[in-house]
């Protein structure tokens, strides 16, 4: 089953509901009050390389300006408006998105959007997925897609949100590939040859990443073993992951992400068991690498998770930070 979190301001005083919502979303955007009464309901699921949200919002503004330069986000956010409207502006690249519209935001760019009694389906998707679909991500920020051109994409987003709670792990990798094909059909691009090359690169990189994820417990997992097991040469692996810090960096990143997910789930295994499970040399190395990656030791992070009640905004915020690190 896919990992999830949820939030609702229902039953809370408006000021308290907004405070908790701003606390939850503070990692991804600056949150402020908009026109009218505030309310929010959010359900979110982590899929493979995608985060999908079903959100009902009003009276709230999300903005990204100064934080763009410091938070390091690179992914795209694609939103389908089902009800109500979202107002944008110069930074967001569009004026108004109404029911049936899809709008796209590049997290490397500043944005400001305000929700007015809106329900929308949103996905956060890695830049590599968008580039595999279109050949280039240039010029997408602020793009507004209308019916009927966006209907297949809209149907797919609605289906993802509806089926996300019951999806099995084995089905998840194909969802990103399906999104690539659908985006490619919605957005006519002159870069077809570039897109084909990007898709080939994406497919090979995905093969390697799946192999890494399946082999995390192997303490001998390395560039050489990945090359031998996938049939991809060391030089080709270097080219595939050059922009991601190399294969060794990717192995380390996936081990740490898996460990952090286990801690988010309040896995009760002893530290030495977790170290073996995710292929670290020992508990000491696990703690050191976790600290280098996330600015906090694994034991400290475990204590932080244990200190908040499951389902509370802080618990969801910690979980969401882990998810965003995997699409950026």
Any idea how long the chain is?
A: 328
The alpha-helical segments, DSSP class H, found in the chain are 14-25, 68-71, 127-134, 151-163, 172-186, 192-214, 223-230, 234-241, 247-264, 271-277, 283-294, 298-306, 313-327
When pLDDT is cut at 50, 70 and 90, the band that residue 312 belongs to is confident
Better-scored residue on pLDDT, 202 or 158: 158
Pairwise CA distance, residues 133 & 135, whole Å? 6
pLDDT tens per residue across span 86-130: 999 999 999 999 999 999 999 999 999 999 999 999 999 999 888
The CATH architecture assigned to 192-327 reads Orthogonal Bundle (1.10)
3-class secondary-structure state, position 221: coil
pLDDT for 317 equals: 80
Q: pLDDT confidence of 311, banded at 50, 70, 90?
A: low
Average the pLDDT over 39-47 and give the result.
94
Q: For residues 102 and 128, is the Cβ–Cβ distance under 8 A?
A: no
CA angle 27, 29, 33 (to 5 degrees): 120
For position 187, what pLDDT does the model report? 62
Q: 172-220: per-residue pLDDT in tens?
A: 888 888 998 898 887 655 556 677 788 888 888 889 998 999 999 999 9
Other beta carbons within 10 angstroms of residue 215's beta carbon come to 16
Mean pLDDT of 287-315: 87
Q: Which CATH class is domain 3-186?
A: mainly beta
Rounded-to-integer distance, Cα 27 and Cα 107, Å: 13
ω into residue 154 within 30 of 0, thus cis? no
pLDDT at 131: 86
Inter-axis angle of helices 223-230 and 247-264, to 10 degrees? 100
Nearest to 57 by CA among 75, 31, 76: 31
Q: Name the residue among 105, 130, 138, 146 with its Cα closest to residue 182.
A: 130
User: With 0-12 CB in 10 A as exposed, 13-18 as middle and 19+ as buried, what is 214?
Assistant: exposed
Question: If we measure between CA atoms, which residue out of 111, 121, 119, 117 comes closest to residue 78?
Answer: 121
**C-alpha–C-alpha distance, residues 302 and 284, integer Å:** 15
Domain boundaries, the chain: 3-186, 192-327
Cα angle: 293, vertex 321, 1; to 5 degrees: 110
Name the percent of the chain lying above pLDDT 70: 97
| Alpha helices (H) along 172-233 | 172-186, 192-214, 223-230
pLDDT of 264: 87
């Amino acid at each position: 089953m896919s990992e999830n979190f949820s939030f609702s301001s229902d039953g809370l005083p408006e000021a308290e509901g907004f405070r908790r919502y701003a606390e939850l979303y503070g990692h991804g955007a600056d949150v402020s009050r908009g026109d009218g009464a505030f309310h929010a309901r959010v359900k979110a699921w982590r899929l493979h390389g995608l985060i999908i949200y079903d959100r009902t919002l009003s009276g709230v503004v999300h903005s990204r300006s100064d934080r763009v330069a410091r938070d390091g986000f690179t992914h795209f956010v694609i939103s389908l408006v089902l009800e109500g409207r979202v107002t944008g502006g110069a930074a967001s690249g569009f004026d108004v998105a109404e029911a049936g519209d899809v709008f796209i935001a590049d997290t490397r760019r500043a944005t400001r959007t305000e929700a007015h009694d809106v329900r929308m389906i949103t996905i956060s998707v890695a830049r590599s997925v968008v580039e595999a679909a279109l050949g280039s991500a240039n010029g997408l920020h602020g793009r507004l897609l209308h019916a009927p051109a966006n209907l297949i994409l809209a149907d797919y987003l609605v289906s993802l949100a509806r089926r996300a709670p019951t999806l099995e792990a084995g089905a998840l990798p194909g969802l990103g590939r399906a999104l690539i094909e659908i985006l490619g059909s919605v957005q006519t691009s002159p870069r077809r040859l570039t897109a084909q090359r990007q898709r080939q690169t994406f497919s090979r990189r995905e093969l390697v990443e799946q192999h890494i994820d399946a082999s995390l417990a192997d303490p001998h997992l390395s560039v050489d073993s990945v090359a031998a097991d996938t049939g991809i040469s060391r030089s080709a692996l270097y080219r595939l992951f050059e922009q991601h810090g190399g294969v060794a960096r990717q192995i380390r990143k996936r081990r740490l992400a898996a460990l952090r997910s286990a801690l988010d789930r309040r896995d009760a295994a002893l530290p030495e068991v977790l170290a073996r499970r995710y292929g670290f040399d020992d508990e000491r190395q696990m703690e050191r690498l976790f600290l280098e990656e996330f600015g906090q030791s694994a034991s400290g992070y475990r204590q932080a998770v244990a200190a908040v009640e499951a389902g509370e905004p802080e618990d969801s915020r910690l979980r969401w930070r882990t998810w965003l690190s995997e699409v950026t």
